[in-house]
A and B are shown apart, each in its own frame.
Chain A
Amino acid sequence: MESTYVNKDEEIDRLINDLKSNGALDYGFHDNINPVYSTGKGLSRQVVEEISEIKKEPDWMRRIRLHAYEIFMSKPVPTWGPDLSGIDWENMTYYSSPDEVKATNWDEVPKEIKDTFEKLGVPEMERKYLAGSIAQYDSEGIYNSLKKEWEDKGVVFMDLDSALKRYPDLVKEYFAKAVPPSDNKFAALNVAVWSGGAFLYVPRGVHVDMPLQTYFRINGEATGQFEHTIVVADEGSSVHYLEGCTAPVYSKDSLHAAIVEYYVMKNAHGRYTSVQNWSKSVYNMPTKRAWVEENGNMEWVGGSLGSKITMIYPSSYLRGRNATTSNLNIALAESGTVKDTGAKAIHMAPNTSSKIIAKSVSLGDGKSIYRGLVRINKDAVNAKSHVQCDALLINDESVSYTMPHDEIYEPTANFTHEATVGKIGTEELTYLRSRGLSEDEASSLIVLGFLDDVMKEIPMEFAVEMNRLVKLEMSKMGAVG
């Protein structure tokens, strides 16, 4: 166990050096690709109809979209959190397709798009670590692959549009069930204009021992990305699904309003890991929710690094006896950004348990807010929940708030909550510097050390990315004070 950690540290250092020697990665670049199809600026009933028509989808889907559109129009922009008045709804492009290709081999992907994903390291990750991979570019999934071994075992993994064509009944059974359009304005928007996202189905008793990943890239300026992802871990199965996201830096803001619906059946184990590193011109407003049935276990692991404003609260509905969930979340609020993140655990059955660990780092005038909900319903006998929120502030202007919301209706429930706020201490910095480390290195190590217990849980390549970003942010800031 211990030596694994040492090796992981080394591996991370080594990979970062590799990245450096290959020229440090910069995700802010963009491709000059004209979409083959776009609905143009703005949203209307007609745009929704148009998207449905392009996709030649079943009528039930068209009707759900239109219903969701009505809900979207009727709901006000939420004002209980960060300021969302900057979202330019009229000038947003809601559907933009780069190409009609649905490749299953990287060589079939148009060169410029392929080059982009190469730069992001996606094909390499796929070769090294993944059981399957989807790449989405603006609105469409342009690449799907699943290793034959898993296909043979009945695993389904493809972009949701393709799944809707090939397995319409299966999609219909799960689509917008855990996250209905009535949930919130952004969920309604997603259901109305969704495009892309993944559909992952793991049959009973199948244990997929390598992760499956979707990589989301927004290329267009002022473009919305509204992927809808459904993961079904059928009875007694286990699966780990990953997501990564990046976008170029633009002066006009883009919007990412995804939905993830995760169904963890009886005795199944689901894991979801995402690291979002959107540029600072992206509003990131996803809704992610899991339904966890009897003896099921759901793990959420998330890193929110980039974006202008992120609001994300992955939720677990513990519906069956003994269902458990854990939620580990890291938020890095850089200067000029807001991370309003947290988790929800809804205990609906006896002996359910949840554990939420949220760690945030605020840099410059970055603001991080933990907002969470734990609800233990009456009759969720002996339910257990533990919430821990730790915040680290780097500058005097850095801000952190903790807003837990607890609703405990069951007297036998056991609920605990801990919260800490700290600053990088002079003593720690001086100690590390007195051994020759620069101020940047010392503060990076301290920040990464603060995040360490969560870093151990995330896949290597994401840890590398997190590590690189923290170091980059620290060196950009120069003196820490």
Chain B
Amino acid sequence: MILEIRNLSASVEDKQILKDVNLKIGGGEIHALMGPNGAGKSTLGNVLIGHPDYKITGGQIILDGKDITYATPEERARAGLFLAFQSPVAVEGVRISTFLRIAYSHLHPDEKIVISEFNKRIKEAMKTVGLDESFISRSVNDGFSGGERKRFEILQMLILKPKMIVLDEIDSGLDVDALRMVAEQLKRYFSRDVGYLIITHYQRILKDIEPQFVHVLVNGTIAMNGDKSLSDKIEENGYDWLKEVA
């Protein structure tokens, strides 16, 4: 699966945030998108999933040759795209088991779901990501701590089995152990068919899951592309030097 972002520009409330962003992520590739606060990193995540508050003002998003620039969020999800949200919202009264079952039936329409087996799978995945089994009967993110929400995002990835995964600040609000778990699950899930775009401000998660490609977003534009050494350089020197380059 290949995700291509071509000359993408986007605005929020008439404010231009992204300008001519270009990225290409293939299966078996791990990309990191770094950048200072306010560079437009989270905007990119929201634009990629089709959040209605974000307006695309130019360019294209192509997923496996298919233009999804103006597709609905559900069409993108059904095409294999997954966004782990930076701040997942709580949805009161919507039980996780029901939610995941409906989601799965759309993402894998040819598979027949046996409810008891599916729930067992969810419970096992809960153990894997460090959530108690009892979460299965709780409402989506309702009353979850920040860390639990992040764990639940990873759980959804494991259950729903998407191919192109955008992780928006998955490392924020996680303690060291949780971060290690997340990185470990990402590595385990990774394959030749799976592509990652890890959006992060800090370099710390990249120590556990090493990207082949690093891109730096400054002022809504990709200021620099490179390999892992670029992220090391950022850790050493911060972002300021890039602003001058850009």
Q: Enumerate chain A interface residues (CB-CB to B < 8 A).
A: 2-3, 5-6, 9-10, 13, 425-428, 430-439, 441, 445-446, 448-453
Contact = CB atoms under 8 A, between A and B. Distances in A.
B94 A432 contact: yes
B6 interface: no
30 contacts: A2-B136, A6-B119, A9-B97, A10-B97, A10-B98, A10-B115, A426-B52, A427-B89, A428-B91, A430-B50, A430-B52, A430-B73, A431-B91, A432-B91, A433-B77, A434-B50, A436-B77, A436-B78, A436-B103, A436-B160, A437-B74, A437-B102, A437-B106, A445-B91, A449-B91, A449-B93, A450-B93, A452-B92, A452-B139, A453-B93
A449 B95 CA distance: 8
Interface string B78-111: 1000110100110111110111111110110000
A445 B73 contact: no
Nearest to B88: A431
B93 A438 contact: no
B88 A435 contact: no
Contact of A439 (B74, B76, B77): B74
A434 B83 contact: yes
B98 A435 contact: no
B120 to A, nearest CB: 12
A450 to B, nearest CB: 6
A3 to B, nearest CB: 6
B212 interface: no
Nearest to B74: A433
Interface of A is mostly: helix
B244 interface: no
Contacts of A3: 137
A436 B74 contact: yes
A195 B50 CA distance: 58
Contact of B93 (A431, A437, A448): A448
B199 to A, nearest CB: 15
Interface string B31-50: 00000000000000000011
B139 to A, nearest CB: 7
B121 interface: no
B72 interface: yes
Contact of B160 (A9, A426, A435, A441): A435
Contacts of B160: 435-436
A9 B95 contact: yes
B98 A9 contact: yes
Main secondary structure of the interface of B (DSSP, over half): helix
Given A6-B119, A449-B139, A437 B103 contact: yes
B73 A6 contact: no
A431 B95 contact: no
A237 to B, nearest CB: 33
Given A433-B72, A445-B94, 14 more contacts: A2-B136, A6-B95, A425-B89, A427-B89, A431-B89, A432-B140, A433-B50, A433-B77, A436-B78, A436-B160, A446-B93, A449-B94, A451-B93, A452-B94
A446 B99 contact: no
B145 interface: no
B237 interface: no
Contacts of B53: 426
Contacts of B91: 428, 431-432, 445-446, 449
A468 B160 CA distance: 26
Contact of B49 (A2, A426, A434): A434
Contacts of A433: 50, 72-74, 77
B156 interface: yes
A452 B49 contact: no
A445 B99 contact: yes
A441 B106 CA distance: 11
A5 to B, nearest CB: 5
Contacts of B76: 434
A435 B72 contact: no
A9 B139 CA distance: 12
Contacts of A426: 51-53
Listed from nearest, the 10 A-B pairs whose CB atoms lie closest are A449-B93, A452-B93, A436-B106, A2-B137, A433-B73, A435-B103, A436-B77, A449-B94, A427-B89, A434-B73
B157 to A, nearest CB: 10
Among A425, A432, A436, A453, the one with the most B-chain Cβ atoms within 10 Å of its Cβ is A436
A425 B53 CA distance: 12
Given A431-B88, A431-B89, A434-B77, A439 B72 contact: yes
Nearest to A12: B98
Contacts of A431: 85, 88-89, 91, 140
B93 to A, nearest CB: 3
A435 B156 contact: yes
A446 B137 CA distance: 16
Interface string B51-79: 11100000000000000000011101110
A13 B95 CA distance: 13
A445 B91 CA distance: 9
A89 to B, nearest CB: 42
Nearest to B96: A6
